Structure 1
Amino acid sequence: MIRADRNGGILTLTIDRPDKANSLTAEMLSDLAKQAESAGDARVMVLTGAGKVFSAGADLDAARAGLATSLDWERLSTAIAGFPGLAIAALNGTVAGGAMGMVLACDLRIAVPAARFFYPVMKLGFLPQPSDPARLAALVGPARAKLILMAGQKIDAATALDWGLVDRVSEAGALMSDAHALAADTLAASPDHAAAIKALVP
């Protein structure tokens, strides 16, 4: 399930299926996209997961039934990228497969030390979501993007920080408080001011 909590201008969207590594069913993916699309009245949007994995991407049974190529992945990424406030991925653990798209679409990414990042589209025979390669290359550079997408490399949190894939590594107990600290200036500004500054940054 997807938990949506609003508190003081912050919308927190939590992927809550820890017994299945927070893998997404078609219904969960659609719900997450709807929540992101309707988040405009929030100042800050935080994406996180329950348990020790952020998300393993598509549920395997759902992927075989067509979820791996669903347009809702790109719909979700577009909604997050278009959010006028600050979008933060608070990565409580590993990010895999299609879940990378929503993470790449966020403005900031913070992760716990145990997090790992991989996107095995080459091995699985799928194309990445349309906007993902450019977003990934903008963060880590073209060659490193190919290491992840074409060479199937699994990146640990320290390497992700060094490459620019994440912006901060936070201890698990401090992850959400660190996300809220990063949100403080945006929360204190007017929504129009925050949106105007965000629009200036490519």
Structure 2
Amino acid sequence: MTDAALVHLDRRPDGVAVIRLDNGKVNSLSTALLGKLRAVIAELEADLPGAVVVTGNDRMFAAGADISEFGGPEEARAIGAAFLDALNALADLPRVTIAAIAGYALGGGCELALACDLRFAAESARLGQPEILLGIIPGGGGTQRLARLVGPSRAKDLIFTGRHVPAEEALAMGLVDRVVPAGELLETTLGYAAELARGPVVAHGLAKRAIDRGLDITLDGGLQLEQQLFVEVFTTEDSRIGVASFREHGPGKATFTGR
């Protein structure tokens, strides 16, 4: 585990890397924390794990940006740049990333969760983009990632009203992918991540790229991208292991190397 304050990185023996936010009770996403988060992600980029879990504390995943840093347009530009730098890097990691959300994920905290591939929430979790209550709008990707995830109408409802969404409603609209009792959140998320980390992780990254990049281009362009990555995945050791194992033992029996 790193000794740096604000963000901790724990590389587990099962191949899962856990990023834990640690900025007081509310886990505000200050520019200092975002800088630490970007540094941790750079560390992961240099030595990729099998999967990544992002979490906060038992009461607060993250409350959002540090309001004390707000000012005028220049401050907004710096805060927005820090969010995009860190969250885009997280979204671009070629491994599965999962947000484990206990308590509140609001504003920038919700945007951090949206930058992950999957979101697991405790039954008591609440998510939202309440920036409008300050007379402002999301500036860390919320208007874009939220709309792509739950659709433009639902995104507009959440952003226009600033309301907090309870876990079960978030599950129903697709904002989170699984809801579990609070006491089981981390164990469930880590177990899921560990199972993925034992799998063909390079293929995970290629599938992730095909989905994420494909959403930003035309269907024809996305199909061409898929074909390119489909060919690329056959250069991996895991593809040879998986195909050979299927032929000999049937599906689901392969032991992958992550290469």
Q: TM-score normalised to the size of structure 1? A: 0.90
Which residue is equivalent to 2:61?
A: 54
Q: Residue 91 of structure 1: which of 101, 105, 119 is its match?
A: 101
Q: Residue 146 of structure 1: which of 151, 156, 167 is its match?
A: 156
Flag structure 1 segments of 5+ consecutive residues without an equivalent: none
Q: Matches of residues 164-175 of structure 1 in structure 2 within 5 Å?
A: 164-175=174-185
The letter of the residue matching 1:175 is L
In structure 2, distance between residues paired with 1:14 and 1:184? 17
Which string of whole-angstrom CA distances, capped at 9 and with x for unpartnered residues, describes residues 20-57 of structure 1? Answer: x1113221121012212332311211110023111111
1:197, distance to aligned residue in structure 2 (A): 2.3
2:31 is aligned with 1:26: yes
Aligned length: 201
Q: Which deviates more from structure 2 when the two are superposed, residues 129-138 or residues 173-182?
A: 129-138
In structure 1, distance between residues paired with 2:183 and 2:117? 22
In structure 2, distance between residues paired with 1:107 and 1:171? 21
Which residue is equivalent to 2:135?
A: 125
The letter of the residue matching 1:10 is V
Aligned-pair RMSD on alpha carbons? Answer: 1.9
1:163, distance to aligned residue in structure 2 (A): 0.5
- Point out which structure has higher relative CO (alpha carbons under 8 A, 6+ apart): 1
Flag structure 2 segments of 5+ consecutive residues without an equivalent: 1-5, 213-259
In structure 2, distance between residues paired with 1:34 and 1:124? 30
* 4+ long deviations beyond 4 Å: none
Identity, in percent, stands at 33
C-alpha contact 1:74 1:101 (8 A) present in aligned 2? no
The letter of the residue matching 2:114 is L
Q: Residue 163 of structure 1: which of 133, 155, 173 is its match?
A: 173
Q: TM-score normalised to the size of structure 2? A: 0.72
Which string of whole-angstrom CA distances, capped at 9 and with x for unpartnered residues, describes residues 130-185 of structure 1? Answer: 63322111221111100111122221111001100000011122111111222234
In structure 2, distance between residues paired with 1:70 and 1:13? 21
Which residue is equivalent to 1:177?
A: 187
Which residue is equivalent to 1:116?
A: 126
Which residue is equivalent to 2:42?
A: 37
C-alpha contact 2:51 2:194 (8 A) present in aligned 1? no
Evaluate the alpha carbon distance shift between residue 52 and residue 72 of structure 1 in structure 2; reply closer, same or farther with a 3 A threshold. same
Larger radius of gyration: 2
C-alpha contact 2:108 2:140 (8 A) present in aligned 1? no
In structure 1, distance between residues paired with 2:87 and 2:21? 15
Which residue is equivalent to 2:20?
A: 14
SS where residue 138 of structure 1 aligns? Answer: helix
In structure 2, distance between residues paired with 1:27 and 1:184? 30
Q: Which deviates more from structure 2 when the two are superposed, residues 159-168 or residues 64-73?
A: 64-73
Which residue is equivalent to 1:2?
A: 7
Evaluate the alpha carbon distance shift between residue 176 and residue 51 of structure 1 in structure 2; reply closer, same or farther with a 3 A threshold. closer
C-alpha contact 1:48 1:89 (8 A) present in aligned 2? yes
More helix by share: 2
